[in-house]
Amino acid sequence: MILHEKTILNNLSKAQAFENILTSDEIEDIWKLAFSNNSVRKNSLGNIFISGDCVKTAYKLIKHKIPLNATLYGGNFFICTTPYGIHLDSFNQREEKDDGTTLYKNVLIPLWIGGCDDGGKVIFFDQRLVDYGCAFNKDGPTSYKESLYHVYDDYSNLQFYDGNSQKIDKKLNSVPFNSLYHLLYFNHINQERLEGFTAESFLDWKPGNILIFDAIQVHASAYGDEKKWKNKMGLLLRFKVNI
């Protein structure tokens, strides 16, 4: 798989939530798969990532419910203790191999919420970046030294695209983030770190739903109104298509 810009840009679309797709029994079966002899790692924030055959097995259970005509190439289960920062879930450059395929969509499946029933939201930004997996940490205090992906601390020269595959003027990369949205959703993130980003979609983290979005779309997660969840578990599935 490679970063084939033309194919990627031709397949962009707005992030979508498909509601009440999975039953409680299906969710139960899926999350338990993560704890059966797989590869596990954690980061300094206490987040746990689980990969291996369990991801393929989980996909087989619910493949018929995911409205994508594409090939699964990877993914992982995860348990997080804090909202995810600003990032995009592309593949790692070390995994690049020209096999006639490129990035397409990712599917995010909320599985459970610990501490309350409000799992907060996933905020998808207008900005897409044709790049390998990366995070955005301008003036951010969070250490990404354990990250497997590139971390940007300067956005000024990044060429973002919107959901209509149009280039976003680089001059807009330094525009302050919406103050109201920062107050409502991102008071756990320095406002400077959000410079240049604009919100496209606010989708609920709700078990039973599935979220489908562009593999190169920048996004982050947030606490809900109650700000009480302690941890939550999800499954990320990654898809590719032919060039």
Average pLDDT over residues 112-124: 91
Domains of the chain: 5-242 (2.60.120)
Res 112 pLDDT > 80: yes
Distance separating alpha carbons of residues 48 and 107, to the nearest angstrom: 18
141-180 pLDDT, tens per residue?
A: 655 555 677 999 999 999 999 999 999 999 999 999 999 9
Three-state secondary structure call for residue 171? helix
Residue 195 near residue 175 (C-beta atoms within 8 A):
yes
Q: What pTM was computed for the model?
A: 0.93
**In percent, how much of the chain has pLDDT > 90?**
78
Residue 226 near residue 28 (C-beta atoms within 8 A):
no
Higher pLDDT, 147 or 29: 29
Long-range contacts, stretch 37-40, CB < 8 angstroms, 24+ apart:
none
Average pLDDT over residues 192-202: 97
CA 70 to chain centre: 18
Q: Any bridge partners for residue 112, and if so which?
A: 233
40-82 pLDDT, tens per residue?
A: 555 555 678 889 999 999 999 999 999 999 999 999 999 998 8
